[in-house]
Amino acid sequence: MENTIEVKNLRYIYEGFGDEPDVEALRDVSFNVEKGSFTVILGHNGSGKSTLASILCMLAEPTEGEVWINGKLMTGDTVTDEDIFEARRSVGMVFQNPDNQIVATVVEEDVAFGCENLGIPSKEIRRRVDSALDTVGMRKYARHSPHRLSGGQKQRVAIAGVIAMKRDCIIFDESTAMLDPMGRREVMDTIERLNSEDGVTVILITHYMEEAARADKIIVMNEGRVLTEGTPSEVFSDPEKLWEASLDVPQSTELLYRMRKAGLDVRLDIFDFGECADEIARAMSERRRENNG
C-alpha cells in the first residue's frame, strides 16, 4: 500500500526564552499514513499532537527526523520553496477555531480563496467551488456572510475551501473541539463521507474518543512520544494505559472493562451500544449455563 505520509524519528524542541528550559515537544516519533486511510491522532493537550500537525503542514521544521509526503522527502537542506508549495497543494489543514480561518466576507469567495492562490482559471474555480459546497452541504449558503453561520457550518465552509483545492489528504487539527454536539456530528459526518466516498486521506487530531472509534488506525501520543498505535479495538483494549495518558475510552469499553475485571469473560473491542449489550448478555448467559451445569 502506498503511503501518503511517512514520518521517521521526528524530534522537535521548543527553545525556551531566556533562562527557561527547552521543551522537547516530540521525541522519536515514527509512523505511516496509508493513502485513503482514516487515521486518528489522540492525545491530551500538550502531548505534542499539534506540533506534529504543524510539521506535517510544513508550518514548522522538525529539529531532527524525516517527513516524506507522497514519496518526497520534505525535511533537510535540499527542500526548495517549490517542494513546500507542492506539498501544501496535496496536504490541507482545517484548524480548531472556525472564526480564524475564514478570509472572505462571502462564503463562496472564501471557498475560492485557495484555488485563486493556485492561479486556476475563473471558470474552473467556479465549478470546483460549487461542487465543494455541494459536498459539504453548504450550497444554499454560497452568498451568505460567514459571520452569521453556526460553528459547524463555518467548519464545513473551511473544509469546502480545502477540497476545492483538490487535496488528497486533509489534516483536521482539533477541528471539532470548539463545536457543540450538533456541529461536531455535522463535521464528523462530512469527514467520514470525504474519506469513504471520495477517498480522501484523513488525519484527525482530537481528544474525543467517540470520534476515534471510527478510525482505521489510532496513534496515541503522550509526552511527545507515540504511546501506542493500532486499530481502535487494539488501542481501546487497554483502558488503563489511556487513562494514564489523561485520555478516556468510550463508555461501552469502560463498562466491558469493568465487567471483565469482575470476572466476566467479555471482549473489549466494542463501541456500539447494542453490540455492547449483546456481548454482556452473551457472557452472562454463558456464565449462568456454567454455574448450572
Partner 1 sequence: MAELELSGVNYIYNKGTPYETHALKDINLKIGGGITGIIGHTGSGKSTLVQMFNGLVKPTSGTVKLDGEDIWEKKDRVREARFKAGLVMQYPEYQLFASTVYEDIAFGPRNMGLSEEEVDKRVRAAAAFSKLPPEAMARSPFDLSGGQKRRVALAGVIAMNPAFLVLDEPAAGLDPGGRRSILGGIKEFGKNSGTSVIIVSHSMEDMASYCDRIIVMASGRVIMDGNCSEVFSRYNELIGVGLDVPQVTRIASALSHRGLDIGRDVYTVGYAAGKLCEMLDGDVK
Partner 2 sequence: MKMDIAFGQYCEGNSLLHRLDPRVKIIITILYIVAIFMAKNVFAFALMLAFTVALVIMSRLSVRVILGGLKPIMFIALFTAVINIFFYKGDEPLVAFWVIKIYKEGLINAGLIVLRILMLLTATSMFLTYTTTPIALTDGLEQLLSPLSKIGVPVHDFAMMMTIALRFIPTLIEETEKIMNAQKARGADFSSGGLVKRAKAIVPIIIPLFVSAFRRAGDLATAMECRCYTGGKGRTRMNVLRAGARDFLFTFVIIALGAGVILINIYAPGYSV
Q: Which residues form the interface with partner 1 (CB under 8 A)?
A: 43-46, 150-151, 177-178, 180-183, 207, 209, 246-248, 250-252, 254-255, 258-259, 262-264, 273-274, 276-278, 280-281, 284, 287-288, 291
Which of partner 1, partner 2, none has residue 112 at its interface (CB below 5 to 8 Å by kind)? Answer: partner 2
Quickly count: other Cβ atoms within 10 Å of residue 106's Cβ: 14
Min dist. Cβ of residue 228 to partner 1 (A):
16
Q: With beta carbons less than 8 A apart as the criterion, state whether 94 and 39 touch.
A: no
What track of x and - describes contact with partner 2 for positions 107 through 126 (by CB under 8 A)? -xx--xxxxxxxxxxx--xx
By CB neighbour count within 10 A (0-12 exposed, 13-18 middle, 19+ buried), where does 43 fall? buried
Given the rule CB under 8 A, which of 23-31, 100-108, 201-209, 267-275 is the region that contacts partner 2? 100-108
Using an 8 Å Cβ cutoff, are 198 and 209 in contact? no
Residue from the set 32, 63, 70, 97 that interacts with partner 2 by CB under 8 A: 97
Grid look-up 465549478 returns 127
Q: What single-letter DSSP state applies at residue 16?
A: P
Check residue 85 for interaction with partner 2 (CB under 8 A): yes
Please provide residue 3's backbone torsions phi and psi, each rounded to the nearest 5 degrees: -105, 130
Asked if 51 and 27 touch (Cβ cutoff 8 Å), the reply is no
Residue count of the chain? 293
Stretch that binds partner 2, among 23-31, 92-100, 212-220, 226-234 (CB under 8 A): 92-100
Q: Does residue 147 touch partner 2 according to CB under 8 A?
A: yes
CB nearer partner 2, residue 54 or residue 233: 54
Taking CB under 8 A as the rule, does residue 131 contact partner 2?
no
265 binds, among partner 2, partner 1, none (CB under 5 to 8 A by kind): none
Closest approach of partner 2 to the CB of residue 178, in Å: 12
Listed in sequence order, the residues at least 6 apart from 266 whose beta carbon sits closer than 8 Å to its beta carbon are 256, 259, 260, 279, 280, 283
CA atoms within 13 A on the CB side of 37: 19
Cα separation, 104 vs 125, in Å, equals 15
CB of 226 to partner 1, least distance (A): 17
Cell of 229: 498505535
Report the interface residues with partner 2, using CB under 8 A.
54, 57, 59, 85, 88-89, 92-93, 95, 97, 99-106, 108-109, 112-122, 125-126, 129, 145-148, 161-162, 165
